[in-house]
Structure formats: C-alpha cells, structure tokens
Amino acid sequence: MDKQYSNKNPNIGLIQISDNKNNLINDYLQKNKSNIIPIKIDSDLNYSNKLKLINGILFIYDFKTTNNNSYELKLKKLLLECIEANIPILCTGYALSILNSCLNGLNPIPTPIHSTNNKIESSYHRIFISPGSKLASILGSGGFVRVNSRHSYSITEAQKSSNLIASAYSLDDGIIEAIESPEDVFIIAVQFNPERRGEIPPHFDKLFTSFIKACKKAQNRVH
C-alpha cells in the first residue's frame, strides 16, 4: 500500500459529483479517522487500480448535471467491481439510481416534484423509513422524518432491482427514498443528501459512522 495511506485508518474512495461541492463531508470523514482517496471518473484512467487501496466507496451525487451515458457506464462498472469485491458502498442522491441500474434495475423516471429550484437551495419533504431495515437499525429507529430533496429523477418499485430491497419511501408519491442489499454486506443508497449535514436531522450522521465501521471491518479482513 502507498505510504500516504499506510496507517490504521480505513481508506475511503470518494466519488463526489456536484456543481457546488460540500466539503463538510470531507472534514467529517477525516475527523472520524478515515483516509479520503478521491476518485475522478473522467481523469482517473486507471481508477480500477485504486480499488486495491480502498476499503469502501462513498458515492455522492448531489445534483444530476449530465446525461452522459458513457460516464454513467464507467460509474456502474466501478460499483460492480466494488460489489464483486464485497467492498462497503454508501450512495447518496442520484447515485441511488446508478447503483440500482448497475444491478439490473430499470432507468429512473422524472420526478420534478422533488427537484430543487436551483443547485444551491434544497427542497424538503417527509419520508417513511421501514422499521427492521438496515437503515432504521443504523439510525436507531424507523418511522417518519423530514429530509432534503435535490433530485429530479427517482425509482419506484417497478424500476427497483430485484437484488435490492426498499427501506424508505416518500410520503407524497411513494417514490423510493432508500435501497439496501439484503445480504450481509454494507450496501446502502439514499435518495436524499445527508452529506449536506445542516439540512438533515443530526442522527443521520450515524449513516456515515456506520459506513466507516464497515470499512474498518473490510480493512481488517484484508490484513
């Protein structure tokens, strides 16, 4: 392993796609004893080699800005490699739809009711988190909660991959707000953006701390 990352902290590959990058998550990861390894799909020609360094993937897609199919294909390829290697995965925003489609789910559908008026301010709505789900277990409870909303594309049960289960829904229209793997592996995606930490209830920080713990376990398996 490279000297830069040769310590006891887990190495987290960070894919961050946004016109207005929120660096709060970078600070949070570092304060919680994690090494950040940026992964830039456009410029990292050998990004697959970085998988040898990382113990988890955090994929933040704050606001969909492109319809570049070849770009999304590269993202799906990377996620599939992580899934095959049992690397923990946490996706936020539009990254939920990319994870879903790379596991043979259907393409997302337009849902303008959830979109924000611009790329800086968020909208808000209430969701229901299914009790008994991994997400509910991580957060400490299921039930109703208010989250931010920055997406104009979403999935319903009709689009959802059969390899994933839904763990949260929008109360307005039944749009899926979270999916997770039913297997004993950390693969969770949420449609909202908890990395925008001032817009989300504080207990959603547990989503990141739980992810970091899963990455630490993955690191210990390697050693």
SS3 state of residue 94: coil
Sign (positive or negative) of CA dihedral 27, 32, 34, 39: negative
Give 41-89 pLDDT, tens digit per residue. Answer: 776 556 667 788 899 999 999 877 666 788 888 889 889 999 999 999 9
Q: CB of 180 within 8 A of CB of 125?
A: no
Q: Say what the pLDDT of residue 63 is.
A: 73
The candidate with the shortest Cα–Cα distance to 216, out of 24, 90, 99, 87, is: 87
C-alpha span between 73 and 80 (Å, rounded)? 10
- Per DSSP, helices labelled H in 58-142 are 69-84, 95-102, 134-139
3-state SS record for 166-201: EEEEECCCCCEEEEECCCCCCEEEECCCCCCHHHCC
- Per DSSP, helices labelled H in 106-176 are 134-139
Per the DSSP assignment, residues forming a β-bridge with 125 are 147
Q: How far is CA 98 from CA 42, 45, 143, in A?
A: 16, 20, 26
Q: Say what the pLDDT of residue 40 is.
A: 82
CATH code, residues 3-222: 3.40.50.880
Sheet of 123-129, strands arranged across:
35-38, 11-17, 56-61, 89-93, 187-190, 176-180, 165-170, 123-129, 143-149
Give 155-168 pLDDT, tens digit per residue. Answer: 999 999 999 999 99
- Per DSSP, helices labelled H in 85-133 are 95-102
Q: How many helices (H) and strands (E) does the chain have?
A: 6, 11
Low-confidence ranges of the chain (pLDDT < 70): 1-6, 19-23, 43-48, 65-67, 112-119, 222-223
Q: Say what the pLDDT of residue 2 is.
A: 45
C-alpha span between 82 and 51 (Å, rounded)? 8
Q: Say what the pLDDT of residue 108 is.
A: 92
Q: CB of 99 within 8 A of CB of 91?
A: yes
